[in-house]
Amino acid sequence: MSRFDTLFSQLQQAQQGAFVPFVTLCDPNLAQSFEIIQTLVENGADALELGFPFSDPLLDGPVIQAANQRALAAGCSTEASFHLLAQIRSTYPTLPISLLLCANLVYAQGIEGFYQRCADVGVDAVLIADLPLLAHPEFTVMAEKYAIQQVFICPPNASEDTIKRVAEQTKGYTYLVSRAGVTGIENQHAASHLEALVARLKAYQAPPILQGFGISQPQQVSDVLKMGVNGAISGSAIVKIIEQHLHDPHTCLAELAAFTQKMKKATAR
């Protein structure tokens, strides 16, 4: 079983959902980024979804765009990110780790080279935000070769055919987007039709569903779990805490610890 498979099995037995934070690697710098990730994990994060610093992100709103710029300004890029991933894996051998990034970062390494490096540092899953289902084979072949689970997004306006193909192709987990647009903590409430979308994904036996975009409060975690998803991903709310305390790392870590504890507590079923 993969680390994600094991996690979801354990959470089901414990009658809990998953809380998965997203941060950009190396934000605001390499050393502080590792401390931030340690804080998230040690205060209840069940898995991590991590981004590579990139100058032209596609799905990210202004908060995470700023995180990318801070990491790049600190001199961190793909090489530093892989170094940090190896450090995270060494510290947390059983923690599921997923990457969320753009295809250009994969092409820059060469598709096979990228997946091989992911395997070398212990990445479990990869979600390429701008990879359409029609173009997936050249990526998924290499993902399978190196035992990386390729994750796909199910958009809130997905057709029946898209729902079916996402359910069939995604591995590890299914990323359900709460709403159209870019990441951010505004427009927080999920549309009522998402419950029907969850039911259709399950009918096609999709992997466990994690819902993201706009998840910033414990009540939202409770609400999405009631719709039948297996967990929630929160990114912009976490990165906003980092942004607010750039010059006070101690307070930053304390705020992140408190936030993570509250969000994880909300996953009790």
The pLDDT of residue 192 is 62
The pLDDT of residue 24 is 97
| 75 Cβ contact list (under 8 Å, min separation 6) | none
Active-site residue (options: 27, 46, 60, 223): 60
Active-site residue (options: 27, 46, 49, 223): 49
The pLDDT of residue 179 is 53
Q: Indicate the burial class of 93 (C-beta count within 10 angstroms; 0-12, 13-18, 19 or more).
A: exposed
Residue 115 and residue 99: Cα distance in Å, rounded?
Answer: 11
- Residue 49 a catalytic site member: yes
Query: For 203, what's the count of Cα atoms within 13 Å in the CB-facing half-sphere?
Result: 10
| 179 Cβ contact list (under 8 Å, min separation 6) | 156, 187, 190, 191, 213, 214
- Residue 195 a catalytic site member: no
The pLDDT of residue 59 is 61
Residue 41 and residue 47: Cα distance in Å, rounded?
Answer: 8
From first to last of its 269 residues, what are the pLDDT tens digits of the chain? 899 999 999 999 999 999 999 999 999 999 999 999 999 999 999 999 999 999 876 666 789 999 999 999 999 989 999 999 999 999 999 999 999 999 999 999 999 999 999 999 999 999 999 998 989 999 999 999 999 999 999 999 999 999 999 999 999 999 999 854 444 444 444 456 799 999 999 999 999 999 999 899 999 999 999 999 999 999 999 999 999 999 999 999 999 999 999 999 999 98
The pLDDT of residue 81 is 97
Angle formed at CA 134 by CA 85 and CA 24, multiple of 5 degrees: 25
Nearest to 178 by CA among 226, 213, 224, 204: 213
Q: Which sign, positive or negative, has the C-alpha torsion 68, 59, 109, 89?
A: positive
The H or E element that residue 49 is part of is: strand 48-51
- Torsion angle, CA of 37/41/45/46, rounded to 10 degrees? 120
Residue 55 and residue 263: Cα distance in Å, rounded?
Answer: 30
The pLDDT of residue 13 is 98
